[in-house]
């Protein structure tokens, strides 16, 4: 399964220049046990890997006593990331939680003031763009928040569409509550799955063409909706 997790990157031009400079001074080495391996460092793009060692606790059976024991073992983790200043996004490929780690690391660099913000993307617009561009797409599920059932129970869950002909009607009805969708998309090697979340996470089968994934990632900032925060005077 392919995964891409994106957030909006709020950073000034000067802070990005500092990031490009400072990140080169924090290169990974076995002695430091944390640092960057940079693939691209240009005025508009920055990409590479952040490598860090994390201690994990593993349960084993002692071969002598046959008793369970907990062993601490260092594990090297990789966070593959890419910054695109043209659309103010940062994405990673492994775990969404890695974005929180990267934000802390970036902020720890001299002269770098930045903020990573979850997307609030209108995923129904992304679905319509995919349907218009690629045609052979079947909507499988919609994830809806605060759905009120007949029994008076409220839940957030993924719902399977039993009547595909009503997809536009359902999307209009729950437009403010849709958190994501999953589709089946026809590729050269058969039907494959693709899912998109409102917060900026995209997952796809291994054989989904990269241009489709890149198109979805490009739609995230295009259909992002700024959330207005109400302030109350005291």
In whole angstroms, give the CA distance from residue 151 to residue 41.
Answer: 56
pLDDT digits (tens, 9 = 90+) for 52-78: 998 888 888 888 888 888 888 888 999
What pLDDT is stored for residue 234 in this prediction? 42
Q: Is 45 exposed, middle or buried (0-12, 13-18, 19+ CB in 10 A)?
A: middle
Count of helix runs (H) and strand runs (E) in the chain: 5, 11
Q: Does the pLDDT at position 229 exceed 50?
A: no
Domain extents for the chain? 2-117, 123-222
What pLDDT is stored for residue 163 in this prediction? 82
In whole angstroms, give the CA distance from residue 137 to residue 127.
Answer: 9
Residues paired with residue 57 on neighbouring β-strands, in sequence order: 72
What pLDDT is stored for residue 130 in this prediction? 93
């Amino acid at each position: 399964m392919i995964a891409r997790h994106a957030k909006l990157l709020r950073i000034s031009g000067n802070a990005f220049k500092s990031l490009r400079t400072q990140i080169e001074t924090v290169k990974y080495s076995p002695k430091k046990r944390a640092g960057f391996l940079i693939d691209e460092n240009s005025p508009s793009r920055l990409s590479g890997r952040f490598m860090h060692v994390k201690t994990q606790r593993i349960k084993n059976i002692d071969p002598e006593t046959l008793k369970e024991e907990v062993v601490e073992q260092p594990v090297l983790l990789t966070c593959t990331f890419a910054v695109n200043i043209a659309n103010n996004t940062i994405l990673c490929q492994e775990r969404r939680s890695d974005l929180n780690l990267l934000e802390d690391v970036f902020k720890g660099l001299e002269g770098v003031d930045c903020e990573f913000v979850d997307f609030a993307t209108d995923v129904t617009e992304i679905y319509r763009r995919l349907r218009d561009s690629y045609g052979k797409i079947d909507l499988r599920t919609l994830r809806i928040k605060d759905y009120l059932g007949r029994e008076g129970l409220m839940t957030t869950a993924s719902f399977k569409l039993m009547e595909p002909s009503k997809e536009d009607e359902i999307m209009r009805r729950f437009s403010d509550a849709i958190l994501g969708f999953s589709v089946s998309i026809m590729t050269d090697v058969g039907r494959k799955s693709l899912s998109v979340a409102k917060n900026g996470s995209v997952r796809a089968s291994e054989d989904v063409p990269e241009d489709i994934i890149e198109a979805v990632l490009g739609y995230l900032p295009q259909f992002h909706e700024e959330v207005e925060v109400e302030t109350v005077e005291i």
